């Protein structure tokens, strides 16, 4: 297996993996999206809400606000030593009180834990007009994307790498293509970067997919950075494989 970073930014990473099969690639994607724990607001207790939006809509918006957190400091509530009752090791209280006129932003939330804060402070929650007021207490906890989208760790997609079927001089590629195709038959390329060149492949012309080589695009939508998303998912996948291996051995 060979892994190589293709591109990286603050919120996104692209990497290629050679030597794996489609089921392995799909399982890695599913884990990154739904099986790594992230922090999100789960309960909201309203004291006052004079805004144009009802409590349920505002609570739903709050739940989808990405929160930064120290992943080593918190437990899943049901696995915590408080036995699911809720404590500082598995839950974080956040409060907000604001009067209109003006926009209520995620950055207006006041957290009782210094490490748990919104990733994007300028995320709008609701607009208050003259005389309107909102006040509530929210409880954030760890959860999994497979349980609710508010805990989704990342948006992940993948595609095959492709192999050039002929020399670059024989291909009709667009001027802005980013394949960096050399004048050598068989070079590996990533056509997902250019819509026009990708269409050439779909027509069955210049490229063919490589069955065991994939390019992943991972964009974090949680308080975890992309490195944490990828590495944590790889560890979870490794543990799953170990458990499967133990289960198979018991059958012998």
When mean pLDDT is compared over 76-80, 106-110, 237-241, the highest value belongs to: 106-110
- Region 207-219 average pLDDT: 86
What is the rounded CA–CA span in Å between residue 230 and residue 175? 34
Of 63-72, 107-116, 158-167, 174-183, where does mean pLDDT reach its minimum?
174-183
The average pLDDT across 3-11 equals 88
Predicted pLDDT of residue 166: 58
pLDDT tens profile 125-144: 999 999 999 999 999 999 99
Highest mean pLDDT (candidates 138-152, 176-190, 207-221): 138-152
Average the pLDDT over each of 161-175, 202-216, 237-251 and give the range with the smallest value.
Answer: 161-175
Distance of CA 1 to the CA centre of its chain: 24
Angle between helices 226-251 and 22-34 (to 10 degrees): 120
* Calpha distance 11→229 (Å, rounded): 11
Return the pLDDT at 182: 43
pLDDT of residue 189: 52
State what percent of residues in the chain have pLDDT above 70. Answer: 82
Distances (CA, A) of 33 to 12, 82, 120, 172, 218: 14, 28, 20, 37, 9
Provide the 8-state DSSP code for 221: -
Q: Is the pLDDT of residue 194 over 70?
A: no
Q: Output the pTM of the full model.
A: 0.82
pLDDT digits (tens, 9 = 90+) for 72-105: 999 999 999 998 899 999 999 999 999 999 999 9
Predicted confidence at residue 6, as pLDDT, reads: 83
- Whole-number pLDDT of residue 12: 94
Q: What contacts 24+ positions apart, CB below 8 Å, involve 171-178?
A: 171/200, 171/205, 171/206, 172/200, 172/205, 172/206, 173/197, 173/200, 173/206
Predicted pLDDT at 200: 55
Q: Is the pLDDT of residue 181 over 50?
A: no
- H or E element at residue 98: strand 91-99
In angstroms, the CA 166 to CA 180 distance is 14
Q: Going from the N-terminus, what domains does the chain have, and what CATH number goes with each?
A: 2-35+153-251 (3.30.1360.10), 38-147 (2.170.120.12)
Measure the CA–CA gap between 128 and 102, rounded to whole angstroms.
Answer: 5
- pLDDT more than 90, % of the chain: 66
């Amino acid at each position: 297996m060979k892994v190589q970073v293709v591109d990286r930014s603050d919120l996104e990473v692209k990497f290629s993996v050679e030597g794996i099969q489609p089921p392995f690639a799909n399982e890695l994607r599913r884990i990154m999206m739904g099986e790594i724990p992230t922090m999100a607001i789960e309960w909201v207790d309203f004291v006052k809400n004079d805004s144009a939006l009802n409590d349920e809509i505002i609570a739903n918006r709050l739940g989808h606000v990405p929160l930064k957190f120290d992943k080593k400091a918190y437990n899943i509530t049901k696995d915590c030593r408080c036995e699911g009752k809720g404590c500082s090791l598995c839950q974080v209280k956040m409060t907000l009180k604001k009067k209109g006129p003006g926009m209520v932003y995620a950055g207006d939330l006041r957290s009782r834990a210094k490490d748990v804060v919104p990733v994007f402070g300028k995320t709008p929650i609701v607009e208050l007009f003259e005389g309107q007021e909102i006040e509530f207490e929210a409880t954030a906890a760890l959860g999994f994307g497979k349980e609710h989208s508010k805990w989704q760790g990342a948006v992940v997609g993948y595609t095959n790498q492709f192999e050039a079927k002929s020399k670059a001089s024989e291909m009709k590629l667009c001027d802005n293509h980013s394949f960096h195709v050399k004048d050598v038959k068989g070079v590996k390329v990533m056509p997902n970067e250019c819509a026009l060149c990708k269409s050439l492949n779909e027509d069955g012309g210049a490229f063919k997919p490589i069955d065991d080589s994939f390019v992943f695009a991972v964009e974090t939508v949680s308080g975890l950075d992309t490195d944490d998303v990828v590495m944590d998912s790889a560890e979870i996948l490794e543990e799953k494989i170990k458990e499967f291996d133990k289960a198979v051995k018991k059958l012998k």
